[in-house]
């Protein structure tokens, strides 16, 4: 029998990040600087809450939108941290990570042929999920380019800050520029702020906190990065009631609800783990500075990241190798894994993404190997 497949899906390449992750998983002697997963253990208070939940038998379905306790905790946290108030009952939806939340948001708002403007380079899930929802991704690299790329078919603007893969973020003035475009063209802002707590220079401004933007913004966030809870798969949506209701319809049919034990653990994370988050943020900043020093010694060009835990250097200028060639040869010859920039867009084939979400000792060894690799290039 010929198995039928979705025509859009057939045209999508597999994730370039997961490709290298699978190689590393099969080769334990490789130092991986490829996957954006915190190397820190989930805070003990969070794990303890999960253990207690399991022991008490809290293993049943939660409400589709997420437990009332977690939605209330998210609302309280976001108001205190970023100055934006949301109704736990009407404007918050808990899902299985930001990837699922993004998927159900774009499926909720897009009709076939609708266009979505995205910043490039962008996280690998954005464009494929837009396409699977029947939409067309349109890329820009600068805020000044947005207006030129807007058409009568444009319905949304997607951006994530601090960024994966570059670690760059937007200033408040830049966010205001984006907000003016959103308002002038009556667009939906889909703002992925999963790395908000990992901002090193200055403070994070939530896009929905800007004047007139709350009613035009779908804010996506979660627990994987700042709270080192990747395996607990928990994200959330903050958005106007009409959008959260629409997204919840898809969530009901495709996932039903998020993991009940993870939700109990997440309440603990929001209520008691701010000190743990700050320790991790401080460590990441130290690692960032280390990576920048080492790359500078190698005469590799890189823009200083303002947040997240990635650097995105141009390796072609220094080595003459494309990002794909650099990553494959580095993996083969020195057993260090990085992600080719092409995974984040065709125009970034001269780059690689290096994650510093690994301990300083391994980072030091990895950069010694990278320096050796570059010295030995002929």
Q: What mean pLDDT is predicted for residues 118-127?
A: 95
CATH class, domain 44-272, is alpha beta
Q: Which residues contact 205 (CB under 8 A, 6 or more apart)?
A: 82, 170, 172, 175
User: What's the pLDDT at 158?
Assistant: 98
Q: Which residues contact 118 (CB under 8 A, 6 or more apart)?
A: 126, 127, 130, 137, 138, 139, 140, 157, 158, 159
Q: Give CA 190 to chain center in angstroms.
A: 12
Average pLDDT in the chain: 94
pLDDT tens-digit map of 70-93: 999 999 999 999 999 999 999 999
CATH classification for the domain delimited by 7-41+275-375, as one of 3.20.10.10, 3.40.50.720, 3.90.1150.10, 3.90.960.10:
3.90.1150.10
DSSP secondary structure string, 303-323?
PPP-BTTEE--B-HHHHS--H
pLDDT for residue 4 is more than 80: no
> Which residues sit opposite 140 in a β-bridge?
119
User: What's the pLDDT at 8?
Assistant: 78
**pTM assigned to the model:** 0.94
pLDDT tens-digit map of 146-196: 999 999 999 999 999 999 999 999 999 999 999 999 999 999 999 999 999
Tokens describing residue 239 = 């958005």
User: What's the pLDDT at 12?
Assistant: 67
pLDDT for residue 5 is more than 90: no
User: What's the pLDDT at 2?
Assistant: 73
User: What's the pLDDT at 36?
Assistant: 87
pLDDT for residue 16 is more than 70: no
What share of the chain has pLDDT > 90, as a percent? 90
User: What's the pLDDT at 378?
Assistant: 67
The model's confidence at residue 105, banded by pLDDT at 50, 70 and 90, is very high
The model's confidence at residue 21, banded by pLDDT at 50, 70 and 90, is low
Closest to 376 measured CA to CA, from 313, 326, 301, 322: 326
Q: For the chain, which residues make up each domain, given as ranges?
A: 7-41+275-375, 44-272
pLDDT for residue 144 is more than 90: yes
pLDDT tens-digit map of 243-300: 999 999 999 999 999 999 999 999 999 999 999 999 999 999 999 999 999 999 999 9
Q: Which residues contact 346 (CB under 8 A, 6 or more apart)?
A: none
pLDDT tens-digit map of 209-253: 999 999 999 999 999 999 999 999 999 999 999 999 999 999 999
pLDDT for residue 27 is more than 80: no
3-state secondary structure of 345: coil
Phi, psi values for residue 67, rounded to 5°: -60, 150
pLDDT for residue 15 is more than 70: no
């Amino acid at each position: 029998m010929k198995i039928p497949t979705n025509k859009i899906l057939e045209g999508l390449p597999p994730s370039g990040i997961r490709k290298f992750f699978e190689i590393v998983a099969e080769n334990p002697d490789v130092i991986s600087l490829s996957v954006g997963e915190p190397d820190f253990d989930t805070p003990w208070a969070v794990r303890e809450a999960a253990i207690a939940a399991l022991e008490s038998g809290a293993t049943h379905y939660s409400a589709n939108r997420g437990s009332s306790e977690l939605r209330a905790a998210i609302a309280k946290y976001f108001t205190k941290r970023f100055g934006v108030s949301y109704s736990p009952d009407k404007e918050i939806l808990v899902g299985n990570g930001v990837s699922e939340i993004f998927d159900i948001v774009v499926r909720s708002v897009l009709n076939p042929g609708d266009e979505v403007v995205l910043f490039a380079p962008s996280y690998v899930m954005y464009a494929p999920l837009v396409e699977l929802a029947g939409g067309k991704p349109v890329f820009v690299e600068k805020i000044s380019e947005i207006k030129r790329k807007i058409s009568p078919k444009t319905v949304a603007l997607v951006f994530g800050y601090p960024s994966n893969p570059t670690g760059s973020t937007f200033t408040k003035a830049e966010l205001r520029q984006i907000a003016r475009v959103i308002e002038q063209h009556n667009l939906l802002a889909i703002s992925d702020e999963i790395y908000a707590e990992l901002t090193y220079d200055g403070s994070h401004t939530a896009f929905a906190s800007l004047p007139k933007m709350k009613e035009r913004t779908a804010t996506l966030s979660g627990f994987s990065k700042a709270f080192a809870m990747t395996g607990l798969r928990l994200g959330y949506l903050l958005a106007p009631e009409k959008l959260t209701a629409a997204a919840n319809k898809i969530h009901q049919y495709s996932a039903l609800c998020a993991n009940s034990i993870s939700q109990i653990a997440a309440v603990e994370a929001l209520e008691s783990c701010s000190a743990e988050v700050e320790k991790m943020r401080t460590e990441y900043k130290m690692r960032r500075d280390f990576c920048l020093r080492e790359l500078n010694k190698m005469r590799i060009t890189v823009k200083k990241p303002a947040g997240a835990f990635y650097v995105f250097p141009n390796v072609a200028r220094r080595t003459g190798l494309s990002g794909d060639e650099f990553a494959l040869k580095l993996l083969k010859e020195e057993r260090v894994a990085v992600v080719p920039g092409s995974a984040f867009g065709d125009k970034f084939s001269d780059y690689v993404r290096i994650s510093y979400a690994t301990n300083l000792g391994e980072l030091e060894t990895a950069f010694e190997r990278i320096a050796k690799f570059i010295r030995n290039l002929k």
